[in-house]
Structure 1
Amino acid sequence: MNQQVIVAGGGIGGMACALALARSGVPTVLLEQAAVFGEVGAGLQLGPNATRVLADWGLTDALQACAAFPEALHVRDAHRGTDLGQLRLGAMALARYGQPYATVHRADLHALLLAAVQEQGLTELRLNARLASFAQTPAGVSASLEDGAVVDGDALLGCDGLWSRVRMQLLGHRPVRSSGHLAYRGMVRSADLPVPLRASVVTAWLGPRMHVVHYPVRGGEWINVVAVVDGVLGQGHGGEAGSDPQSWTHQARATDLARALGPACADLLSMIHAVPAWSLWALNDRPAMTGAHEHAQGRVALVGDAAHPLRPYLAQGAAMAIEDAWTLGRILKPVRARDDWPQVLARFADTRWQRNARVQQQSQRNGRIFHAMGMVRWGRDTAMRLLGERLLDNPWLYDGPPEPLQDPTPSPHSKRKT
């Protein structure tokens, strides 16, 4: 199977797809609209479901060289500072799931995927190449670029994010949905923090209409901090009213964040005040997927945020894109000349859409729970204290990714149910 596949988008999802296809012997041309390869944002979390894929791709050593591996998840009350619950990670995650729980800088994850793609040698990387439209025929796909160039292939993968042009043409114009939440993001050197805040743990602070998460990245040398609050850009939260919602680089004011957090406890304020600079952007998403047709039609498929954008309350955005790519690669192995792309992509969509929809729904639910007030907040805290790890763990998620439907080939975890 030596047909060329077009990958639109050179972020984590696009790189993961290019790598999965290359490992299956499929050449790709990857189109990236930016002038250089890179990733915006800061840290992200990779559960065992994602690190399992990276291990299958032979990237464990590369991940260990740049990531941190937290020992636990601690959930605390943002105002009182009290402990609400804990989930053991570290050695316990490795024992439970066979793979570790990692935290990594987005740029580091992107760089290791890019290096792996280049090592495979089957991907043509094109910068300054922004897709304008595509035309699908029974024999293939033609992608027209903004500069007038045309790229032909046997299939097209839209890995171009929440504001995907591939999605817009495939599914029609459907506006993104505002979550009503704003994310303040920043990083601070571990050495600049009080010793108790340098611990190798993921800490989630929950409060009324807000929550904060921080965790180590870059081997523990830096701490990534994300504060999510109820609000709208331009209404007391930096930026200008009407700012471009696609921007990830709005200037943020620490005073706005402090006001939104309310009467935060001393430990949380110490972390917030240590961050030297903040960026800010609105969190948007789309409703959960309703069918396989939202993942693929004919020779065109959507991957990652282009298909199933996630609110960051389950820490699975990058992981689901990586799972998508792995699934496609599994379907393509072993290479069979009789495979046809509409059939391959239909099987991919049938395998992925329900799991991705479930993750979308759970992420939205978590956002409501994290920001709860009144009796709902009391019930959340009580359940967390009583149920502990049973409430915080997600075996259905971390045991993945599931094998492709009707997969004729075995795998190390083919018996795993997800």
Structure 2
Amino acid sequence: MSTTHVPLLVIGGGIGGLGSALALARAGRTVHLVEQAPAFTEIGAGLQIGPNATRAFDRLGLLAELSDIAVHPRSAVVNDAHTGERLTTLDFGPKFLARYGYPYLVAHRSDILNILLQACKREPLITLENNRTVVNVEESSKYALVTFADGTVYTADIVVGADGIKSRVRQLLDKSEPVFSGHVAHRGAIDIADVATEVNHDDVVLWMGPGIHLMQYPVRRGELYNQVAVYESPRYSAGRDDWGHQDEFDEMFAPACAEVRNAIAKIDMSRAWPVFDRDPLDTWSTEHTVLIGDAAHAMLQYLGQGACQALEDALGLARALGGFPDDPARAFKTYESARIPITSKCQTVARPWGRTWHTDDPALLALRNRVFRMRAADDYSDLDWLYAERPEDVAPLTV
């Protein structure tokens, strides 16, 4: 068995892992990143990038590249999936930009990953390594030990766990299982010419109804159309094997209006994703390890913040380690104090927000729709906690 020592090891080559490697290298750290897949890829299709995440891309010097491949939507539109009624609109125009300083973008996940990957490849302080499956992470008094499937071991002064919702690094702190939401998702992007219905290339569109929702928006400069259809799956919850099949999908979306039914006819049914999250943790670190992204705070998709919060984590961790370069334990606690409150709120707010989207309670549904109809398109008061710049956002990566 061979053992290799690296000063700082990032486990996981997704958006959060590559973002962390880049932020840490920009803060002067030598970074070794390992990814279990043979190539750096992202499963899924579209990604919504709130102004907190476009701000993070700007801090990393990548906003121009992101802006070039992304779509700049004019607004987000919420419709009733059964009646087809437009319930509310969120304007992403000049008032939104003036309030938050950065735009709301939508992009293909693989395009975003590639921007981060190419930036990491250009960074001399970063080493990237594929085909590295982690089977165990443990601590000694001096460093963390990471064992791979081929029997080799890396030791590291700092291990950053960016290894997702089933994180091996997280098991040092928490051995619980992810929490099933009751929902199953089908997602994918199709050529814009193949979309079955008339679409507005300037909008992010949400259709919500009892037990279902459909999210739609263009990506890759408007060349592709991303669709995510989500429904409550009694079969999965009951432990049956026939969940996520066409008949269950059709049954759940049968009451939807014609525009939704026509749209979902183009949904790829070859793969279904059961939707999980995690309960918040009080700490994300041990003496030599620290978590970021889904490993720390996997959340439901209803705020569109999973990857956004991971990018904010990346910058927060780099700033904290820049502030305490010789005291990782103190840096970890500084990072946690800045990041745990906001990510925990995202986790706990997303759950009831999703239930509100999917409610079949007549009274709650009527109240929800009434509240939506009453709000102004430029009322951003409920978004400040998520999108507004916080004091720590302006701190440099090094001090």
TM-score of the aligned structures, taking structure 2 as reference length: 0.91
The answer for the alignment partner of 1:324 in structure 2 is 313
Q: Residue 187 of structure 2 contacts residue 268 of structure 2 at CA under 8 Å; is this kept in 1? A: no
The answer for the alignment partner of 2:265 in structure 1 is 273
Say which of 200, 222, 227 aligns to 2:224: 222
CA distance in 1, matches of 2:181, 2:223: 32
The answer for the alignment partner of 2:11 in structure 1 is 8
Amino acid at match of 2:290: A
The answer for the alignment partner of 2:373 in structure 1 is 385
Report the alpha carbon displacement of residue 411 of structure 1 after superposing the two structures with TM: 5.7
Pairing 1:354-369 to 2, within 5 Å after superposition: 354-369=341-356
Percent identical among aligned pairs is 35
Q: 1:15 to 1:232 in 2, by over 3 A?
A: farther
Aligned length: 390
Q: Residue 71 of structure 1 contacts residue 91 of structure 1 at CA under 8 Å; is this kept in 2? A: no
SS of 2:205 mapped into structure 1: strand
Report the alpha carbon displacement of residue 154 of structure 1 after superposing the two structures with TM: 1.1
Q: Residue 29 of structure 1 contacts residue 123 of structure 1 at CA under 8 Å; is this kept in 2? A: yes
CA distance in 2, matches of 1:205, 1:278: 22
CA distance in 1, matches of 2:234, 2:28: 46
Pairing 1:101-120 to 2, within 5 Å after superposition: 101-120=104-123
Q: Residue 186 of structure 2 contacts residue 267 of structure 2 at CA under 8 Å; is this kept in 1? A: no
SS of 2:273 mapped into structure 1: strand
Regions of 4+ moved over 3 Å: 232-236, 240-243, 252-256, 274-278, 388-393, 409-412
CA distance in 2, matches of 1:78, 1:341: 49
Pairing 1:199-278 to 2, within 5 Å after superposition: 199-232=201-234, 241=240, 253-275=245-267, 277=269
Superposition RMSD on alpha carbons, in Å?
Answer: 2.4
> Deviations for 1:212-262, whole angstroms, at most 9, x for unmatched residues?
1111111111111111111155689xxx9459xxxxxx9x55443232113
For the pair 1:343 / 2:346, whether they are aligned, the reply is no
SS of 1:313 mapped into structure 2: helix
Report the alpha carbon displacement of residue 90 of structure 1 after superposing the two structures with TM: 4.0
SS of 2:297 mapped into structure 1: coil
The answer for the alignment partner of 1:63 in structure 2 is 66
TM-score of the aligned structures, taking structure 1 as reference length: 0.87
CA distance in 1, matches of 2:248, 2:95: 39
Report the alpha carbon displacement of residue 270 of structure 1 after superposing the two structures with TM: 2.3
Q: 1:95 to 1:176 in 2, by over 3 A?
A: same
CA distance in 2, matches of 1:10, 1:410: 26
SS of 1:104 mapped into structure 2: strand
SS of 2:230 mapped into structure 1: strand
Report the alpha carbon displacement of residue 91 of structure 1 after superposing the two structures with TM: 3.7
Amino acid at match of 2:44: G
SS of 1:81 mapped into structure 2: coil
The answer for the alignment partner of 2:147 in structure 1 is 144
Say which of 297, 310, 315 aligns to 1:308: 297
> Deviations for 1:106-162, whole angstroms, at most 9, x for unmatched residues?
111111101111111211111111122233234322222121111122111111101
The answer for the alignment partner of 1:371 in structure 2 is 358
Q: Residue 197 of structure 1 contacts residue 271 of structure 1 at CA under 8 Å; is this kept in 2? A: no
For the pair 1:75 / 2:75, whether they are aligned, the reply is no
SS of 1:403 mapped into structure 2: helix
Q: 1:233 to 1:219 in 2, by over 3 A?
A: farther
The answer for the alignment partner of 1:161 in structure 2 is 164
Q: 1:278 to 1:379 in 2, by over 3 A?
A: farther
CA distance in 2, matches of 1:211, 1:144: 41
CA distance in 1, matches of 2:359, 2:367: 10
Q: 1:159 to 1:368 in 2, by over 3 A?
A: same
Report the alpha carbon displacement of residue 195 of structure 1 after superposing the two structures with TM: 6.9
CA distance in 2, matches of 1:395, 1:280: 33
CA distance in 1, matches of 2:132, 2:268: 35
SS of 1:220 mapped into structure 2: coil
Pairing 1:8-87 to 2, within 5 Å after superposition: 8-87=11-90
Q: 1:391 to 1:98 in 2, by over 3 A?
A: closer
Say which of 183, 187, 190 aligns to 1:188: 190
Q: Residue 158 of structure 1 contacts residue 300 of structure 1 at CA under 8 Å; is this kept in 2? A: yes
CA distance in 2, matches of 1:160, 1:136: 17
CA distance in 2, matches of 1:220, 1:10: 27
Q: Residue 142 of structure 2 contacts residue 157 of structure 2 at CA under 8 Å; is this kept in 1? A: yes
Amino acid at match of 1:349: E
CA distance in 1, matches of 2:32, 2:165: 21
Q: 1:93 to 1:195 in 2, by over 3 A?
A: farther
SS of 1:125 mapped into structure 2: strand
CA distance in 1, matches of 2:182, 2:196: 33
Q: Residue 183 of structure 1 contacts residue 228 of structure 1 at CA under 8 Å; is this kept in 2? A: yes
Give the gaps of 5 or more residues in structure 2.
1-5
Give the gaps of 5 or more residues in structure 1.
244-249, 413-418
For the pair 1:128 / 2:100, whether they are aligned, the reply is no
CA distance in 1, matches of 2:274, 2:391: 32
> Deviations for 1:149-195, whole angstroms, at most 9, x for unmatched residues?
11122111111101111111x12421111111111112222122367
Report the alpha carbon displacement of residue 62 of structure 1 after superposing the two structures with TM: 1.1
